[in-house]
């Protein structure tokens, strides 16, 4: 456990409460030595609390935190300092100490009582400053250097602690773009070349994806995702956890995923989980037929997805205004293979499907075909179509598909209210994710 | 870069002062203190040389020399007794305030300075702080102290410099008489002391018999306000337990502040008006005179109400427990409160 | 490697350590102690004073008749020796000891609270001490032993107040803000109790005012010794925490992450500072400004490193109080002013000077 193969940081079932509020709920995390973990999540998700628990700054209400095999709270404060170093988000020193002295503060845990700093300590400090590129500035005061340089100096101080685990709390939040890259590359170097274990709380998912080995996502105190960046980052994650609609791309140079944010998901009007509503429920519609159901679902707190819809379709506008993920085709064209793929993804992610009474023609028939593929796997609700009106413009194939759906267990509902009732009765659909 | 290996045992050297050292340090400090106190206590001088054993007004036991030639007197009340006992020549030092802040004249009125032939070369600064050097320079064999600034400082003088200090702070007028007897013993002037004591006693008995007469006739005691200072808020007066109150009672007066809760209360203008005292006596001296009281609330109304019965008297008669209070102050107050009676 | 062990020259005003300043201060203090007994309310010629000092120090070997040729007061040469040696010198020594205690305690509190306006009485110690002294005076406890009981009760009162605050510090609410608020609240409460107590005893009120103003005189060598012993032990222990105080300036969390147990260290520092302050004022009453100004002076001349600031503040504090005593005797000859008044007179403009000089260059950082 404490040998070179043991984990650097291990949280077991850690729960931390501040009065009524639960900051961390039953969190398990294991960070092996030498890994660079990016800890991310929306504001208030518990990232800072997790780091503070790892530092021994607070006592968890349940669970334990171990540093290199020893429970952090059982270690002396000095021993903790030798095992884990901390680069806080923001530090406001009161005195204009020269950088060298500032970095030397990190040697405290290695010095004996009343023992002064030796030449060896000073050399370590100079080396640390060199590692962050501040060697020439060693005599300059901490209050006179720029924000980026100050952050690097703090990193150098963490280095001089010679701790094999370094925790960073939003180290780049006050830095400009150049310094962000600079700092994180140096941190990456630390982990790569020197085998230091890094856990960094980062807001910027793209930076996290680019520099870290592993991304851990926290949401409302729980660990909701954990893995390599390519696996963890997805549009769905961003929408679910952050409430942001984004496009996922791939960085051509690094191969890392990166997200382009667009707009916010409209929060559910009821319930505490504004970004994580119920569902998602997929609505198949078009020509305005889907709008009332999209709205009703959204009002009731469900996340909705929609498609496949053609551009300029009013249902598409409704869907987008609700922040729904959609599958979109160009106007008047039949639904192509790519869009069908997309539709399939949305349908498979859905917890329920609602088929609105939309007029079906050859160009949007594939909607029903794809829905049929999910028969039996997910609850399907068919909104009653008014008798007498013609709605099948696909040569009878639409009716046939609908009949097949009905035979296969799809449930007819008369309108939005009945739809909601039916969904409420379905445990899978109404469960929060 | 060398990383700390967490599997190694932490080094045995402690990083901050261990608790054990801490406790040791505190114990040493305490020990030093206790040792110091004990030594100081043990080394307290057996009483300074002298045949007389005295218990003074604070319950302290002193041994004083017989008839000391060099005496420092701290307090005008004691100076009064010394003078009346013919012991002025024994006095080499008196209490003063800081020279640049009033010196001799802050404790002694001009009349007293002239009468007792005091000069600033006799000063021992007792306020705002106690000056030991001046006391030492005078080389007294005995210090007589009234209400002094710091009992602790006085105690220190006794112990460090072996100068006996007798605290004469009578609580009652009888105490004044007893102290004069004591002074007679110390200075071996029994004749002077007994004649002073008998004049004090006869003054007191005259006052007592007047009171008996009044009580026998059923005459109520006149109500009176005796105030020693005033400001915009009201009048400062004497409450229960003070010499001022005792004097008023002896003079067969009924002070309107006889039932106050504080020893030196300030009565508001309304309170005084409501009590409507028949007599108004205001204390003067040390910068306080009638104009001070003119600044008090409803003063002109109060004077008019009294119809001329507002009288000024030397404040010292009410505050300094000495023979003058009994021999001069008491008869004067009786004359004010009972015009026409023979006192 | 090529890395030099020296701090490269740069633009930082920084910690600016000048340890040799401490040696200089110590020397100055020594000189001050030797020559200060020349000043006093009774006039004694300087050479007589020095002869008496040397006579006493050498146990009578030097200057067998120290008063030769001098004008001798009524009490004779032995009286003169008493004045110079027992009264003045012990007063001078006490000034140094009390000033040192207040100085190092003030420096500690400024470091713990990270506030340049902190002084040794921040934790309500002055109120507790005054109340202790007042109890002795008002209730006339042990008249014959009052010269020992007064300091004892004052010490206990001061320590008890400090202890209450420290109990608050150990609890989970022990943030710096809690400590300060508890100190203020306790101070107000005790002052109110004191006022009530004194309403019923005007003579007591007089004596307590006397105590409150601060007074260096009328003590003997034993009491000096007690004060010296306690201040020495507690002050030395305080000085060993210089490095921890340096780290605490970065903030309690950062200090903790660097290996300083912030809460424990803070409690210990406050305890030691309370003991030092209590011992200093138990014998002399409340003397203000010394603890506030001394650390600032040291920071200007010896740098910001608390390993120097603490002992330096002790030396400066001792010198400051001694100088205040001497100045008061020069400015008001023949009068002895309560030393607390004089330190305020001297301290206030001095502090203003320090503040104005600081404009533009931060010795303790921007608030």
Place of tokens 């008496």: C52
Give B213 to chain C, closest Cα distance, Å. Answer: 35
The domain locations on chain A are: 7-262, 278-430
pTM: 0.76
Verify whether the Cβ–Cβ distance C260 to A108 is below 8 Å.
yes
A161–B15 C-beta distance less than 8 A: no
Neighbouring subunits of A (3+ Cβ pairs under 8 A): B, C
Tens of each residue's pLDDT in chain A, 433 residues? 344 568 899 999 999 999 889 999 999 999 999 999 999 999 888 999 999 999 999 999 999 999 999 999 999 999 999 999 999 988 888 878 889 989 999 999 888 776 777 888 889 999 999 888 888 888 888 888 888 888 889 999 999 999 999 999 998 888 888 888 988 998 998 888 888 999 999 999 999 999 999 999 999 899 999 999 988 998 888 888 888 888 888 888 888 888 888 877 765 444 433 334 566 899 999 988 999 998 888 888 788 899 899 988 889 888 888 878 888 888 888 888 888 988 998 898 888 999 999 999 888 899 999 999 988 888 899 999 887 778 888 888 999 999 999 998 899 998 888 888 888 777 655 555 4
Q: Which of C17, C3, C50 is nearest to C31 (CA)?
A: C50
Interface test with B, best of C3, C42, C139, C147 (most B CBs within 10 A): C147
Query: Nearest by CB to C10, which of A78, A126, A139?
Result: A139
Nearest CA in chain B to A123: B1
For C20-84, the three-class secondary structure string (H helix, E strand, C coil) is HHHHHHHHHHHHHHHHHHHCCCCCCCHHHHHHHHHHHHCCCCCCCCCCCCCCCCCCHHHHHHHHH
| Count of CB atoms situated within 10 Å of the CB of C2 | 6
| B43: chain C residues, CB-CB within 8 Å | 222
Using CB atoms, pick whichever of B5, B6, B15 lies closest to residue A113. Answer: B15
Please name the residue of chain B whose CA is at the shortest distance from the CA of residue C244.
B16
Tokens of B150: 């710091």
Closest partner residue to C229 (CB to CB) among B32, B40, B134 is B32
Residues of A with CB below 8 A from C259's CB? 77-78, 80-82, 108-109
Tell me the chain C residues in contact with residue B16 when contact means C-beta distances shorter than 8 Å: 241, 244, 260-261, 264-265, 268
In C, minimum Cα distance to B161 occurs at C82
Cβ pairs bridging A and B (under 8 Å): 52
Closest CA to C95 of C305, C270, C353, C336: C336
Mutation site, B15, B16, B20, B21, interface A, largest A CB count within 10 A: B15
Q: Does B61 touch chain A (CB under 8 A)?
A: no
In chain B, which stretches have pLDDT less than 50? 1, 9-17, 45-48, 343
Using alpha carbons only, how large is chain A's radius of gyration in Å?
27
CA B191 to chain C, closest CA, distance in angstroms equals 30
Run of H or E including C185: helix C176-199
Establish whether this prediction's ipTM goes over 0.90. no
Fold of A278-430: Rossmann fold (3.40.50)
Confidence (pLDDT) at B305: 67
Please indicate if any CB of chain A lies within 8 Å of the CB of C170: no
- Measuring CA to CA, which residue among C5, C17, C21 is closest to residue C315? C21
Record: contact C74-B138, CB cut-off 8 A = yes
B55 has a chain C CB within 8 A of its CB: no
Cβ–Cβ below 8 Å for A70 and B17: no
Task: Establish, for the pair of chains B and C, how many residue pairs have beta carbons separated by less than 8 Å.
Answer: 175
Look at A95 and C304 and tell me if their CB atoms are within 8 Å. Answer: yes
C2 at the A interface (CB within 8 A)?
Answer: no
Residue A38 and residue A212 in contact, taking contact as beta carbons nearer than 8 Å: yes
Contacts of A51 in chain C (CB under 8 A): none
Nearest by CB to residue A162, choosing from B3, B7, B10, is B3
The Cα–Cα gap between B157 and B162 comes to 7
pLDDT, averaged per 10 consecutive residues of chain C (367 residues), comes to: 39 63 89 89 85 80 74 80 85 91 95 88 86 86 76 89 79 71 87 88 77 73 83 90 92 91 89 90 87 91 89 94 90 81 81 71 46
| Mutation site for C-interface testing, chosen from B38, B69, B151 by largest number of C Cβ within 10 Å | B151
CB spacing of C217 vs B132 below 8 angstroms: yes
Upstream peptide bond of A280 is cis (omega within 30 degrees of 0): yes
d(CA B14, CA B26): 19
Domains defined along chain B, listed by start: 52-188 (3.40.50.1980), 220-337 (3.40.50.1980)
- Of the residues C258, C261, C309, C367, the best mutation for testing chain A's interface (the one with the most A CB atoms within 10 Å of its CB) is C258
Neighbours of B250 (CB within 10 A): 21
Residue with tokens 């306006």: C117
Cα–Cα distance measured from residue B296 to residue B280, given in angstroms and rounded to the nearest whole number: 13
CB contact under 8 A, B32 and C233: yes
CATH number corresponding to A7-262 = 3.40.50.300
User: Is B98 an interface residue toward C (CB < 8 Å)?
Assistant: yes
Instruction: Supply the pLDDT for residue B209.
Output: 92
**What residues 213-242 of chain B have any CB closer than 8 A to a CB of chain A?**
none
How confident is the model at residue C179, as a pLDDT? 80
Mean pLDDT computed over every residue of chain A: 86
Contacts of A82 in chain B (CB under 8 A): 4, 6, 10
pLDDT (0 to 100) of residue B309: 66
Which domains are delineated in chain C? 72-357 (1.10.3470.10)
């Amino acid at each position: 456990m404490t040998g070179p193969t043991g984990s650097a940081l291990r949280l077991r079932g850690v729960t931390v409460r501040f009065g009524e509020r639960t900051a961390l709920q039953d969190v398990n995390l294991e960070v092996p030595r030498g890994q660079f973990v990016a800890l991310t999540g929306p504001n208030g998700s518990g990232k800072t609390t997790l780091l503070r628990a790892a530092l021994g700054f607070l006592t968890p209400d349940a669970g334990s935190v171990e540093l290199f095999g020893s429970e952090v709270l059982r270690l002396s404060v000095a021993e903790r300092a030798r095992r884990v170093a901390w680069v806080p988000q923001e530090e406001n020193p009161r005195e204009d100490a020269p950088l060298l002295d500032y970095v030397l503060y990190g040697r405290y845990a290695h010095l004996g009582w009343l023992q002064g700093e030796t030449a060896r300590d000073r050399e370590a400090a100079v080396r640390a400053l060199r590692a962050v590129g501040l060697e020439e500035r060693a005599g300059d005061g901490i209050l006179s250097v720029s924000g980026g340089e100050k952050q690097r100096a703090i990193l150098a101080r963490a280095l001089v602690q010679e701790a094999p685990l370094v925790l960073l709390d939003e180290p780049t939040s006050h830095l400009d773009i150049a310094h962000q890259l600079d700092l994180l590359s140096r941190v990456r170097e630390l982990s790569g070349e020197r085998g230091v274990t890094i856990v960094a709380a980062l807001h910027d998912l793209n930076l996290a994806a680019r520099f870290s080995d592993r991304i851990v996502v926290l949401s409302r105190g729980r660990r909701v995702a954990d893995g390599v960046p390519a696996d963890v980052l997805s549009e769905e994650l961003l929408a679910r956890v952050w409430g942001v609609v984004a496009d996922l791309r791939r960085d051509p140079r690094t191969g890392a995923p990166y997200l382009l944010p667009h707009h916010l998901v409209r929060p559910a009007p009821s319930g505490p989980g504004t970004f994580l509503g119920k569902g998602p429920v997929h609505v198949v519609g078009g020509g305005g037929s889907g709008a009332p159901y999209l709205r009703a679902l959204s009002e009731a707190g469900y996340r909705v997805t929609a498609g496949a819809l053609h551009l300029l379709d009013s249902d598409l506008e409704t869907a987008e205004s609700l922040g729904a993920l959609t599958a979109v085709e160009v106007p008047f064209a039949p639904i192509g293979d790519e869009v069908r793929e997309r539709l399939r993804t949305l349908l498979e992610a859905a917890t329920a499907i609602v088929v609105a009474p939309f007029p079906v023609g050859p160009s949007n028939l594939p909607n029903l075909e794809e829905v049929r593929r999910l028969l039996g796997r997910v609850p399907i609700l068919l909104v009653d179509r008014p008798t007498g009106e013609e709605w099948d413009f696909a040569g009878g194939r639409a009716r046939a598909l609908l009949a097949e759906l009905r035979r296969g267990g799809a449930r007819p509902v008369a309108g939005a209210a009945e739809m909601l009732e039916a969904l409420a009765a379905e445990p899978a659909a109404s469960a929060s994710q | 870069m060398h990383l700390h290996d967490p599997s190694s045992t932490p080094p045995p050297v402690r990083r901050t002062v261990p608790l054990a050292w801490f406790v040791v340090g505190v114990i040493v400090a305490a020990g030093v203190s206790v040792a110091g106190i004990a030594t100081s206590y043990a080394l307290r001088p057996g009483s300074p040389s002298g045949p007389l054993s005295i218990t003074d007004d604070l319950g302290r036991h002193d041994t004083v020399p017989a008839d000391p030639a060099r005496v420092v007197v701290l307090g005008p009340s004691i100076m009064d007794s010394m003078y009346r006992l013919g012991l002025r020549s024994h006095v080499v030092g008196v209490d003063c305030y800081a020279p640049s802040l009033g010196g001799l004249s802050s404790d002694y009125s001009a009349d007293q300075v002239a009468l007792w032939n005091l000069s600033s070369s006799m000063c021992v600064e007792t306020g705002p702080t106690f000056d030991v050097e001046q006391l030492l320079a005078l080389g007294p064999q005995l210090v007589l102290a009234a209400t002094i600034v710091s009992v602790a400082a006085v105690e220190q003088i006794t112990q460090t410099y072996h100068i006996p200090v007798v605290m004469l702070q009578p609580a009652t007028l009888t105490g004044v008489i007893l102290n004069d007897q004591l002074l007679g013993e110390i200075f071996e002037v029994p004749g002077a002391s007994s004649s002073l004591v008998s004049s004090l006693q006869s003054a007191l008995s005259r006052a007592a018999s007047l009171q008996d007469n009044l009580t026998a006739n059923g005459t109520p005691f006149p109500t009176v306000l005796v105030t020693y200072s005033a400001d915009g808020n009201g009048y400062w007066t004497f409450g229960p337990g003070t010499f001022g109150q005792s004097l008023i009672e002896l003079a067969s007066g009924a002070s309107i502040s006889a039932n106050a809760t504080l020893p030196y209360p300030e009565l508001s203008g309304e309170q005084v008006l409501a009590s409507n005292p028949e007599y108004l006596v205001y204390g003067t001296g040390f910068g306080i005179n009638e104009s001070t009281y003119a600044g008090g609330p409803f003063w002109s109304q109060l004077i008019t109400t009294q119809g001329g019965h507002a009288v000024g008297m030397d404040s010292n008669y009410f505050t300094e427990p000495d023979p003058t209070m009994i021999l001069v102050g008491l008869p004067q107050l009786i004359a004010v409160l009972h015009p026409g009676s023979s006192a | 490697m090529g890395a030099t062990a020296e701090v490269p020259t740069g633009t930082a005003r920084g910690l600016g350590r000048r340890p040799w300043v401490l040696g200089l201060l110590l020397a100055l203090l020594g000189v001050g102690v030797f020559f200060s007994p020349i000043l006093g309310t009774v006039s004694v010629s300087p050479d007589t004073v020095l002869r008496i000092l040397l006579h006493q120090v050498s146990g009578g070997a030097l200057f067998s008749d120290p008063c030769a040729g001098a004008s001798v007061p009524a009490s004779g040469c032995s009286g003169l020796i008493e004045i110079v040696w027992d009264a003045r010198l012990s007063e001078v020594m006490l000034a140094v000891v009390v000033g040192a205690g207040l100085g190092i305690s003030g420096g500690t509190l400024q470091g713990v609270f990270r506030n340049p306006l902190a002084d040794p009485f921040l934790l309500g110690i002055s109120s507790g001490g005054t109340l202790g002294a007042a109890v002795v005076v008002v209730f006339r406890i042990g008249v014959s032993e009052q010269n020992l009981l007064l300091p004892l009760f004052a010490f206990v009162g001061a320590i008890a107040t400090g202890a209450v605050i420290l109990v608050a510090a150990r609890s989970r609410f022990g943030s710096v803000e809690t400590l300060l608020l508890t100190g203020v609240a306790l101070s107000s409460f005790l002052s109110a109790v004191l006022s009530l107590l004194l309403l019923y005893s005007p003579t007591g009120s007089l004596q307590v005012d006397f105590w409150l103003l601060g007074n260096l005189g009328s003590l003997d060598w034993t009491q000096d010794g007690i004060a010296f012993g306690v201040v020495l032990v507690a002050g030395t222990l305080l000085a060993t925490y210089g490095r921890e105080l340096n780290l605490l300036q970065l903030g309690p969390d950062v200090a903790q992450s660097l290996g300083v147990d912030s809460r424990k260290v803070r409690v210990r520092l406050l305890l030691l500072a309370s003991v030092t302050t209590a011992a200093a004022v138990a014998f002399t009453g409340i003397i203000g400004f010394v603890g506030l100004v001394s650390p600032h002076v040291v920071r200007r001349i010896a740098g910001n490193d608390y390993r120097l600031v603490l002992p330096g503040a002790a030396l400066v504090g001792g010198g400051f109080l001694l100088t205040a005593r001497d100045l008061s005797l020069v400015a008001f000859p023949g009068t002895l002013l309560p030393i607390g008044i004089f330190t305020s007179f001297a301290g206030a403009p001095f502090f203003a000077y320090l503040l104005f000089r600081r404009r533009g260059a931060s010795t303790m950082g921007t608030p």
